[in-house]
């Protein structure tokens, strides 16, 4: 769930370094079901490709996989 929240905020704000104030000032009304569904599906696919276990979820390397998803032009918000 952390990765999905990170991805939504990072993608909609256009930045990768998320700080507390980003969440505090974030306009939740801009989040659509499509954004949640698209990013959730992409993140789950990467998670399964990486092994789909607790080691992957806790890995500091997995955030790089999320950034790869966010860099895809096909992921629209």
pLDDT of residue 60: 83
Domain range summary for the chain, segments of one domain joined by +: 2-71
Q: Residue 9 has what pLDDT?
A: 86
* CA 67/CA 21 separation, integer angstroms: 21
Q: pLDDT tens digit string along 13-67? A: 888 888 888 878 888 898 889 989 999 999 999 999 988 888 888 888 888 888 8
Q: Which two tokens stand for residue 32?
A: 């659509």
pTM of the model: 0.78
Model confidence at 77, pLDDT cuts 50, 70, 90, reads: low
The CA radius of gyration of the chain, in Å to the nearest whole number, is 12
Q: Residue 56 in contact with residue 14, Cβ under 8 Å?
A: no
Query: To 10 degrees, what angle do helices 33-49 and 62-71 make?
Result: 130
Supply the pLDDT for residue 74.
59
Calpha distance 47→22 (Å, rounded) = 25
């Amino acid at each position: 769930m952390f990765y999905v929240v990170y991805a939504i905020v990072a993608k909609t704000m256009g930045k990768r370094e998320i700080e507390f104030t980003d969440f505090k000032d974030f306009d939740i009304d801009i989040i659509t079901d499509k954004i949640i569904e698209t990013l959730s599906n992409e993140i789950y696919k990467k998670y399964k490709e990486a092994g789909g276990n607790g080691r992957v979820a806790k890995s500091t390397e997995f955030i790089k996989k999320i950034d790869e998803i966010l860099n895809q032009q096909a992921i629209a918000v």
